[in-house]
Structure 1
Amino acid sequence: MTSSPRTVMRIYFHLQEPDEDLYEQLLALLEGITPGVQPHSADWSADVDLTGALRYWDRDAKGLAAVIRLRALALYGVQSSAGIGPSRMIAAMAAALSPPGSVTVVGNSPYDIAAFLRPQRAAALPGIGPATARSLSRYGIYSIGDIADTPLATLQRLVGIAAGRQAHDRSHGRDDRLVVPQAAPRSACAEHRFDTDELDPDQHHQAVLGLVDELGARMRSENSVCCAITLTVRYADRTHTTRTRTLAEPTAHSPALADTGLALFASLGLQRARVRAISVRAERLQPAETATHQLTLDPTDERTRDLEAAIDRARARYGYRVAGPASSYQRAN
């Protein structure tokens, strides 16, 4: 007996500002439709397995998505966009192409999958970052269709064995990952929206530094630490890139967060990118007293932490903007 094809939706909730409580209410709305909900709190999205819900609600995928979007808007005033496809990867890619208020549906036939994937640029394939895409372009590989047509052995020579296998499978639409229901992990987020699409890398770096400093101060005031940092960069064409890195140790120390945030940004390999917004999320928060700190013989580390504590005391008394690292403030012209 053959199993019915999967139907997966990636839905993005376009929150006006970070709001953990509202996001959890929206997840509860999804769980009222189907128990197969996997949250992605880094960008206020979720993967939803609609396979069983379609028959239960007696609707097609686009109709059920319309019900969900209408409820989110009517009950919580939150606009959303979604992508629907036969796998998590295709649903996520379809959602990335959907402007707020719309849904993109990709059929589950091999023709539908190929027609959706092949024309897209190589960098749109999950796992192919800007740097890898530029490397592939030097060999005449510009689109996902080009990747699909490249022999596996050739891809593996160009980008590595594991990455080549992954790119080969995904370019043909193969993605067996299941939607795994789970609770949204506790996290904290800060976002910077540029007044206009920003091209200046210095402004990008300054925004990242300001965001991690804000998160560090917030966590220290709440006596908590985070285990990982997620960076999301949103571009002028409505696409976005998200990267996550686990910290060497749970911390709320701003310099450590800044090193990780800047390393994540550098890993994107952006060159003259038109950036609309940058957000940084502190993931897997836990009480500070449960974390351990590796002692160091470097006196600079102790002085930095003492200075950080003094800045926190000044901010608590006079306001957040009274003090902070100079690199996170706008330079005077």
Structure 2
Amino acid sequence: MILYLHFGAPQPDPAYHRLLDMVGEFTPVAQALPPDAALADVSGSTRYFGRDAAGLAALIRMRAAALHGLDVTVGIGPNPLLARLAAHRGEPGAIRTVPDDPEAITRFLAGLPAAALPGVGPATARTLASYGLRTADRIAATPLLTLQRILGAASGRELRERAAGIDPARVVAGAPPRTVDAEHRFGHDESDAARQRAALTHLTEQLGARLRDERQTCRALTLTVQYADRAGQSSITRSRTLSEATAHNPRLRATAHALHGSLGLQRARVRSLALRAGELGDAASASRQLTFDPDDDKTRRIEAAADRARARFGPGAVRPASTAGMR
């Protein structure tokens, strides 16, 4: 059986590595899903520990609470997809199991909102709803060709398989790659898109400053959005690979805003935004596309001056006007 462990909130790199090491004490087959989750295949661990998957999940929860002060939510299922869905269905801080039984899987998926399926964001959910496809069981019962006409060939096939609880993926053991993270939590559920974009601008300023200070660049950016819904709280994650490695605010900001726009959140009540810079590399060895745009050089000079001011007077010394008051 597979455990999907959700740590409740994005974890900074050191804390996340400690959590992954803790999971590794129960099984060597643990897969990092930074910044807030991990997968663990405990099929080979139940006999050694003399406990079933739920018993091991309870031990991990107790260890996480005692050592890290975290109330971990655990989903258990015969594959990573069902384990993840089990973890996210219901209140946090619990253990939920989907048995390895076709009838039990069908009952679990019956009535599951389409938006709960991985890869179905608010925009896709609205598209599906316009065709009356609001739940996983309705999607699974829809002819494949119909879904492919709505979503495209590959997306339609993947969604239909997920709606039926099919997931051929295996847990792949491995340490998480080094990343740089920044998170903004709103004081209330924020539905104003302009304020959300301002928060993203603030996060990219933080990421860019840290990358430049550490003489690093990134090739990938991941946005995680937590928002309020009927189930209480849901999250959605999108990633994008950059055309070239960078540590400069305009490119990071444009990519973050594009990721945000692609989610189609509209009036969603957002609780937090988290940005993660991945595929880090040494800035000295990063290539830069030549440009004859004088504004690009001017922007980089201003950026360097702002970095010097922050180093001397603190991280809040220089910031865009739209981010005033944010921490």
TM-score (norm 2): 0.95
Aligned to 2:256: 261
Displacement after TM superposition at 1:139 (Å): 1.4
- Please say if 1:182 is aligned against 2:174: yes
Aligned to 1:315: 310
TM-score (norm 1): 0.93
* Code of the aligned partner of 1:215: L
Aligned to 1:303: 298
Aligned to 1:87: 79
Q: Deviations over 1:227-261 (max 9, x none)?
A: 11110001122210011111111111011001111
Q: Deviations over 1:134-159 (max 9, x none)?
A: 11211111111110111011111111
Displacement after TM superposition at 1:330 (Å): 4.8
Aligned to 2:268: 273
Residues 96 and 238 in structure 1, CA contact (< 8 A), matched pair in contact too: no
Residues 216 and 257 in structure 1, CA contact (< 8 A), matched pair in contact too: yes
Equivalent of 1:33, from 22, 26, 31? Answer: 26
Aligned to 1:159: 151
* Code of the aligned partner of 2:183: E
Q: Identity of counterpart residues, as a percentage?
A: 46
SS in 2 for 1:226: strand
Q: Deviations over 1:196-227 (max 9, x none)?
A: 11111111111111111111011111111111
Residues 97 and 239 in structure 1, CA contact (< 8 A), matched pair in contact too: no
Displacement after TM superposition at 1:284 (Å): 2.1
Displacement after TM superposition at 1:77 (Å): 2.3
CA distance in 2, matches of 1:203, 1:31: 40
Displacement after TM superposition at 1:295 (Å): 1.1
Give the alignment of 1:136-151 within 5 angstroms.
136-151=128-143
SS in 1 for 2:115: helix
SS in 2 for 1:227: strand
Aligned to 1:21: 14
CA distance in 2, matches of 1:263, 1:126: 20
CA distance in 1, matches of 2:77, 2:11: 28
CA distance in 2, matches of 1:11, 1:40: 9
CA distance in 2, matches of 1:69, 1:206: 36
Residues 80 and 101 in structure 1, CA contact (< 8 A), matched pair in contact too: yes
- Please say if 1:193 is aligned against 2:188: no
Give the alignment of 1:1-333 within 5 angstroms.
7-14=1-8, 18-42=11-35, 44-236=36-228, 237-330=232-325
CA distance in 1, matches of 2:27, 2:47: 11
SS in 2 for 1:79: coil
Residues 83 and 98 in structure 1, CA contact (< 8 A), matched pair in contact too: no
Which deviates the most, 66-75 or 318-327? 318-327
Q: How many residues align?
A: 323
SS in 1 for 2:14: helix
* Code of the aligned partner of 2:185: R
Q: Deviations over 1:4-24 (max 9, x none)?
A: xxx111101236x74321211
Are the structure 2 counterparts of residues 128 and 19 from structure 1 closer, same or farther at C-alpha, using a change threshold of 3 Å?
closer
CA distance in 2, matches of 1:25, 1:108: 30
CA distance in 2, matches of 1:18, 1:39: 12
CA distance in 1, matches of 2:119, 2:71: 28
CA distance in 2, matches of 1:188, 1:270: 25
CA distance in 2, matches of 1:290, 1:229: 19
Residues 193 and 277 in structure 1, CA contact (< 8 A), matched pair in contact too: yes
Cα RMSD for the two superposed structures: 1.5
Displacement after TM superposition at 1:69 (Å): 0.9
